[in-house]
Amino acid sequence: MDYNVVLITVDCLRQDHVGHYGYYRNTTSYIDSIAEKSMVFKNMISTGNCTPMSFPAILASTDPKISDSSHDLLPKYSRLISQKLKKNNHSTIGIHSNPFLSKHFGYGRGFDIFEDMAGSVNKGTIKRLEIQDLFSKVAQKVPYFHQAKSILNLYRSVEPFANARKIVDKSIKCLDQVENPFFLWTHFMDAHFPYLYPEDEDKHVYTEISKIQLGKSLGVADKTGKATGLHLQNLIDLYDTNLRFIDGQLGRLLEYLESKEMFDNTILIITSDHGEEFMEHGNLFHYDKLYNELIRVPLIIRHPEIHQNVTIHKLVSHLDIAPSILDFLGIKEEGFFKGKSVFKRMENKTEDYVISEGSSVTFNKKPKRLFSCTTNNMKYIYNIDDEIFEVFDLIKDPQENFNISDEINDDIYSEILKTYIMSKVGQDELSKSVFFNSMFNK
């Protein structure tokens, strides 16, 4: 059947800050109401800790390419879901405000309408980002610079990205221009640091602390990448405030679809590219780590033929989104995608695993590289640059605090991780590492 498809991706959305997944705050009431009549995947694992690492899987069901770059990672040979759907007579729309998802990096392929609301991105843009990165390092040494900047941005309502209201306005305008069936991909950036919200959202902030105090907390985070006590709670409050704002704007988009009598014929997919750390493992944001707060994300799929909540515990990943869309629409996959439809995952009785890749998004130095293998019960992480191997029992230690790598011998999943790392990094380079060979050849 020619269903419409709406793919919603929310930057930095942790699974455990979504109400339906058990969060104590009412951050996502509209998403929660959708979940009540949808497939909800409890074990959805991101393929990366940051946008450039995860989006090759989300839109092209492929691994990030082998590169010394930390941001240009979509393989040129890959086939995007937008290209496949356009070929099958869907109108295709892509709207985002993240510079790493621009046409410059290949994400505009297959879209009839593609709105880079982050502005035009080219080689000059990357050079400016490199200069900003250097300036930020210099500014670290200036007392109170980051706090003053953050306070000023709050009072001026500076928007580093197009906010969810503008994204939805643009989405509605574009939908008015196309014919059914359509594919709409919309990406929201409001949950990304610096967590700045529109001025008219002041009354909805999860704190009564002044903007000056909030600005000080943002400044501490911006300068150090760390926070404790009240500063940390302020950051979580701002993050949750933006989740609630995104949720309300998503509701407005879906109400538009209902008003045009399109919602009942629409497959809706809600997910995130990665999570966000709030000091669980010593930092804020989404640095080069692969712990659960960064790679365990929501996946909610609303299908017109499903009318009740179906909770699924099968392990799935970003790689499975594009194949699932084709499966839902009855379109042959043709072997371009690495993942599988979630229906095929559910039919598979064997133990699944997800490989994730981590990197630091840098502009003036070679990024760090790390890899993980996640199963239902275990997590294996190898940091190549720092030569650290970690293994966690996710049943006994869901917070991933106790490394049990010394207890692992001849384990099938450590071997799977080793094989994957060698395919991406190269055997010649790894053969030089005494640590790598000692850890994976016990």
For the chain, the structural domain boundaries read: 4-348, 377-442
pLDDT digits (tens, 9 = 90+) for 94-144: 999 998 999 988 999 999 999 998 765 555 555 555 545 544 554 455 455
297 bridge partner residues = none
> Averaged over 10-26, what is the pLDDT?
97
Average pLDDT over every residue of 68-88: 85
What are 288-316's pLDDT values in tens digits? Answer: 999 999 999 999 999 999 989 999 999 99
Residue 367 has pLDDT above 80, yes or no: no
Q: End-to-end CA distance of the chain: give it in Å, rounded.
A: 53
Query: In this model, does residue 176 exceed pLDDT 80?
Result: yes
Task: Phi first, then psi: give them for residue 362, nearest 5 degrees.
Answer: -125, 160
Q: Indicate whether 36 pLDDT > 50.
A: yes
Query: Which structure tokens are listed for 214?
Result: 């909030």
Tokens 């009740």 identify what position? Answer: 308
| Domain covering 4-348: architecture | 3-Layer(aba) Sandwich (3.40)
Q: How far apart are CA 115 and CA 377, in angstroms?
A: 41
Task: Report how many helices (DSSP H) and strands (DSSP E) the chain contains, helices first.
Answer: 14, 16
pLDDT at 361 over 80: no
Alpha carbon distance 201, 244 (integer Å): 10
**pLDDT given at position 384:** 86
Confidence of residue 222 (pLDDT cuts 50, 70, 90): confident
Torsion of CA 358, 369, 340, 9, to 10 degrees: 30
Sign of the CA dihedral running 370, 295, 95, 192: negative
d(CA 394, CA 125): 41
d(CA 230, CA 269): 35
User: What is the CA angle 147-152-157, rounded to 5?
Assistant: 125
Q: What is the pLDDT of residue 135?
A: 43
Tell me how far apart the alpha carbons of residues 164 and 28 are, in angstroms, rounded to a whole number: 14
Per DSSP bridges, beta strands 91-96 and 113-116 are parallel
For range 252-268, the mean pLDDT: 96
Q: How far apart are CA 228 and CA 147, in angstroms?
A: 16
| Beta carbons of 220 and 283 less than 8 angstroms apart | no
| Minimum mean pLDDT range among 11-25, 72-86, 160-174, 349-363 | 349-363
Residues with Cβ within 8 Å of 324's Cβ and at least 6 positions away in sequence, in order, are 269, 301, 341, 342, 343
Instruction: Give the pLDDT band (50/70/90) at residue 431.
Output: low
Instruction: Give me the pLDDT at residue 179, please.
Output: 85
Has residue 336 got a pLDDT over 90? no
142 contact partners, CB below 8 Å, separation of at least 6: none
DSSP helix/strand/coil, 17 = helix
Q: What is the mean pLDDT of residues 422-441?
A: 69
Give the pLDDT mean for 408-436: 78
Q: Burial level of 416, CB count in 10 A (0-12/13-18/19+)? A: middle
pLDDT at 162 over 80: yes
- Is the model's pLDDT at 256 over the cut of 90? yes
Confidence at residue 138, expressed as pLDDT on a 0 to 100 scale: 44
pLDDT at 369 over 80: yes
High-pLDDT (> 70) share of the chain, %: 83
More confident residue, 346 or 39: 39
pLDDT range class, residue 146, cuts 50, 70, 90 = low
Give CA–CA dist 351/226, Å, rounded.
Answer: 37
Task: Please say if the pLDDT value at position 87 is more than 70.
Answer: yes
How much is the average pLDDT of 383-400? 93
Report pLDDT for 134.
47
Least reliable range by pLDDT among 241-255, 317-331, 339-353, 378-392:
339-353
Tell me what the pLDDT averaged over the chain comes to.
Answer: 86
pTM above 0.85, yes or no: yes
